Amino acid sequence: MTRTQAITLNAIALYGAALVLAAAFAAQFVLHELPCPLCLLQRILFAVLAVGPILNIRFGPRPSHYALSLLTAVAGAVVSTRQVLLHILPGDAGYGSALLGYHYYTWALIGFIAAIVLLAAILLFDRQFVDDGAPQTSPAGGFAQAAVWLVIGLTALNVISTLLECGFGACADNPTIYELLKRGS
């Protein structure tokens, strides 16, 4: 895999992260389901997972960038597993709606495990790390730049919605209202 192919693959990964963040927003605003604290933490970890690909697009592929995402995916899998285990007992309805039979935190666990496997697989391609004479900080194409800004925008919207939901204190375990909007009214 060449550096250019690796950057394109990283851009596709960013579009995947953007899809996850957008789906979380859809559940929040279309289904009116406020995310719980663990759900918010999983969103943060999906946003942090995107840092490695953003660095790869900006500075060129490096093993350390992939390692950052790999460690984030492991942390995300741990947090998602924790939430799955909270709702594993028979008769527990789980938190939020189910999508195709699984709750969002179960899908997050699947997503983080998939990221771990894909990141490990992409690290097998050493040619992407070989200096081909191209400038290390050359600007990426429009496809990659759009992916970067899409993830940054969705992350910013997540920060704003979390602030509205939790206010400046701890988030409620089972949120039902936007705390910051309640205080203002």
Among candidates 77, 73, 71, which has minimal Cα distance to 105? 77
Distance, CA of 121 to CA of 115 (rounded, Å): 10
At residue 183 the predicted structure's pLDDT band, cuts being 50, 70 and 90, is low
Distance, CA of 95 to CA of 91 (rounded, Å): 12
- List % helix, strand, coil for the chain (3-state, nearest 5): 70, 0, 30
**Positive or negative torsion for Cα 92, 83, 169, 181:** negative
Could you tell me what percent of the chain has a pLDDT over 70? 94
Over residues 96-140, the pLDDT tens digits come to: 787 888 889 999 999 999 999 999 999 999 888 887 665 554 557
Distance, CA of 14 to CA of 143 (rounded, Å): 10
Q: Distances in Å between the alpha carbon of 47 and those of 92, 105, 157, 170?
A: 29, 15, 11, 20
**CA angle, residues 19, 21, 22, in degrees to nearest 5:** 65
pLDDT at 165 over 70: yes
Domain ranges of the chain: 3-184
pLDDT of residue 118: 95
pLDDT at 49 over 60: yes
132: amino acid identity, one letter: D
pLDDT of residue 124: 93
At residue 179 the predicted structure's pLDDT band, cuts being 50, 70 and 90, is confident
152: amino acid identity, one letter: I
**More confident: 168 or 182:** 168
pLDDT at 18 over 90: yes
pLDDT of residue 132: 65
Among candidates 118, 108, 98, 94, which has minimal Cα distance to 44? 108
pLDDT of residue 25: 87
Could you tell me what percent of the chain has a pLDDT over 90? 57
How high is the mean pLDDT of the chain? 89
Which of left, alpha, beta for 62 (phi over 0: left; psi -120 to 50: alpha)?
beta
Distance, CA of 20 to CA of 89 (rounded, Å): 27
Q: CATH code for 3-184?
A: 1.20.1550
Over residues 65-92, the pLDDT tens digits come to: 999 999 999 999 999 999 999 888 888 8
